[in-house]
Amino acid sequence: MTERQQNVEFHHLVQQVLREIDRQEAQMHGGAAARMTTSGVSPVRALVDAVISEAAEDGASDIHVEPQASSVRIRIRLDGLLQVRHELPKKVYAVFLSCIKVLAKMDVSQSREPQDGRFTFSREGGDVDVRAATMSSVNGEAIVLRLLPRDGHVWELGALGFSENDEARIRTLLQSPSGITAWVGPMGAGKTTTLYAGLSELNRQETSILTLDDPVEYLLPGVLQIPVREEAGKTFAEMFRHVLRLDAEIFAVGEMRDKETAEVALRAALTGHRVLTTLHADDACLAVLRLLEMHLPPYLLAATLRGVIAQRLVRRICPDCRESYEADPGEAEALGVPAGTTLYRGRGCPACHGTGYRGRMVLAEVLVLTDEMRKEIVHGVEIEELRALAKKAGLQTMREDGREKVLAGETTWEEVRRMLSEA
């Protein structure tokens, strides 16, 4: 469906809802006893379904529905950035929001306190798990929907955009017979996607793999996947201790967010298990210091940490409107190339909703620990010293990776600078 067709359908559904609201208001004013409920307003459910279906079809990760002064804005997060798609009259939004609350088993009468809920949305392309969160604002109650496709499509490692050298290093880490490998970066950097791409390569009939996630975003046949319900009082560390008894060779832990979880991971690695996990850190070397700041014994960390993959996601240039141009002096200087070097960008077209970008790829740096690094970690390594050792061992920084991808015409320098503040 084209963007114009989506807008026409949305407008048509909004008008249907308005007519239904007017009809029910007329009934109430006429003395009818019936109160207006979302269950009796089928156009409202059709409107909710249309908004979620459109976002899912476009590959959005989130839907933001935000009251403004005189209307309600609907934005979707596509390729990491928010795009405005529609506006709702506030009169329609009241029943639109109530419908979602009913679906997510929230308290429809509560509008001041934050609420969380979830439901499954069924569509032709497959079921989608929807996580809903509300929050009161000065203009009314806002709601954000996180979309998690139930099919859990797992990417292949080779399709994520890693350089040939980084991909080889990651495969070496994945094949380590024991130890910890961590994927790091901010929220939305694709850490879990890459981790599961690696798990997919390790998934063999003769290998026992177990995952702990909150929530489970990808489904891997043959892998024992366990959801961690922290709201129910179950922590990653507590669940990790229990699953250590289940005789798995490989554990994937959704996030190593505290000392307790990290200590269990160290113990598992020391007893011969492979542990794959994620961590919030700006780059690969800072991740090592972040683990040390959790007050883990340096000698145990040095003995068990195999490597760190730091990454960001940048948008790919849209293949349908890709065009060449000559680099301006500022770009040329930043990239270390002569002025006038041929670069590429997207003009903007219907296929990319006018952005010039479609899809995303990884910028990465892969740190594989050496014996020299391990010795320094034990003795209290400083960040600059660790960076120097990493460079000596062949680490290519995310900035350097971005430069190569710009010169190859895969993304733009503007996009690399957006994701890497130091670029």
- The number of helices, as runs of H, and strands, as runs of E, in the chain is 14, 15
* DSSP H stretches of helix in 176-254: 191-202, 236-243
Of 325, 321, 317, residue with least CA distance to 357: 317
pLDDT in tens, the chain (423 residues): 677 788 888 999 999 998 888 888 787 776 554 444 444 447 999 999 999 999 999 999 999 999 999 999 999 999 999 999 999 999 999 999 999 999 999 999 999 999 999 999 988 878 899 999 999 999 999 999 999 887 667 889 999 999 999 999 999 999 999 999 999 999 889 999 999 999 999 999 999 999 998 878 888 899 999 988 776 667 888 889 889 889 899 999 988 888 999 999 999 999 999 999 999 999 999 999 999 999 999 999 999 999 999 999 999 999 999 999 999 999 999 999 999 999 999 999 999 989 999 999 999 999 999 999 999 999 988 999 999 999 999 999 999 999 999 999 999 999 999 999 755
Taking the C-alpha atoms of residue 380 and residue 387, their distance in angstroms, rounded to an integer, is 14
Taking the C-alpha atoms of residue 220 and residue 199, their distance in angstroms, rounded to an integer, is 9
Taking the C-alpha atoms of residue 234 and residue 238, their distance in angstroms, rounded to an integer, is 7
Reported pTM: 0.86
* DSSP H stretches of helix in 30-120: 42-58, 90-103
Q: How many CA atoms lie within 13 A of 170 on its CB side?
A: 29
Q: Tell me: cis bond preceding 338? Omega within 30 of 0 counts.
A: no
List, in sequence order, every beta strand (DSSP E) within 150-273: 179-184, 209-213, 224-227, 250-253
Phi first, then psi, for residue 418 (nearest 5°) are -60, -40
Taking the C-alpha atoms of residue 318 and residue 289, their distance in angstroms, rounded to an integer, is 38
Name the residue type at position 411. Answer: T
List, in sequence order, every beta strand (DSSP E) within 61-191: 62-67, 72-78, 81-88, 115-121, 128-137, 140-149, 179-184
Of 35, 102, 47, 106, residue with least CA distance to 72: 47
Contact 292, 299 (CB under 8 A): no
